Structure 1
């Protein structure tokens, strides 16, 4: 660099010295404009998902990092599954608890093997089984002790259920009150008397699963379906593209036991009305506590939806129900 400075000569610069300084700087700038600068640019950004870091590499070989990236505490992954690749802080649920991944890995066939191998840490364990809000005990017994939430059957003929509000002393059955200022009832009705039958209609307004219950009826008294299922009707909001058949079953007093097939309900392609047919020699007799079901086919027509069924029957000694 050939520039004359005041601090070096201790006097004002001559006109020739000042011009020389300007000429020197102008020459340097011209050279830069002609040759250009070799800029240093970004070459690569490298993310490490396992370590949760980022590394920056420049074109001149300079490397910055790795820098630790902020991250969420957990990454929910749903139910644990064998053969799935998991990363550190993945959160899974299995065996009633939740676990956090402590080492990236591909899951073994057994979760317990991975847990023993130190790849998971317990986050939340399954708690003890709590008492149901409603706990059906059975027929009311005057000498028994009941707890709040217990449900009892008082009159088997009417099938009325009562739920304990507070702990009643022995002998204080439904319809009795505590000896307090508010006369708090020990029991409250959980259902009302059924003098014929209680029917639960599952009106499936959207899609339904294969081989699933789309209708259920529970019977309180003895009875019998009408011969050849006379009077039975079935409708749908949207007709199926292809013909489909549902099974009508009848079972005994075993909860959710679908029983024996006694007939079929068939929707023709494009039809919204079902045709009922009875299985040959089917036993149409109904026992108290028995149930009937309409079961969807094993292959579901995706178009069919919005089901309604009504299947009349005779209560023994009474009119059609």
Structure 2
């Protein structure tokens, strides 16, 4: 038995301290000899609709339900009449790709398609890389629409499954149809690799002073409005608006201003305005201080997030 100071309301005697260590030693030796007593698994239940598993133990505890990862599509090659197909089987017909919506034996393809046994994934002649822009949670997307999805590293995501009644606005890439388990979106490209370009200084900047002159080695892009970037004035906010200029010059020295970072009066956090711009090997990225010198530029710190092309 362990003797606690809080129980006896006094400092422990030497014998009590030794007794505590002896008690702990005995318990550890018992574990080493017999091992820990496990709790047996009593039952494993499976929910085929939700694709979830629940574990039940003899002491009454349960863990779950746990959603299991579902397979995407199983490639079966060209569609063949009379073939038994299972849900998520992927076939090709006349250059288009279709996925089975449930188990069935293939009849005439046109009849099966009309009966809802197949869902088109990629229509022949439709470019999956024709991206409509960034994902918009307020927009209703149609089959074959492609978007850039910032939460997936700006990878291109494409709508491949639309349930009866249409795809509800706000259906995020990664979401699955609750009735079939089919993914509504599939990635078309890998996420682009992001990296930081740091801009900082210790002193007050002079009017128009260049604070970044970066030569491009590996091609990259600056995303629209420098999404994910940060712009801070650590010491004090300006009393009037002030604007930093961002410029791109190519290896021949041609180019011009591509964006700005605006610090509104009273704010220490800047906002960028910039159209997505690609930088090739040999291009220069320049950042210049406002045209009017200000003590508030002291210690200005920018972290520009770029993405490898």
What range describes the TM-score normalised by the shorter chain of this pair? 0.3 to 0.5
> Structure 2 length normalisation: TM-score?
0.33
Larger radius of gyration: 1
Higher relative contact order (CA 8 A, sep 6+): 2
Structure 1 length-normalised TM: 0.32
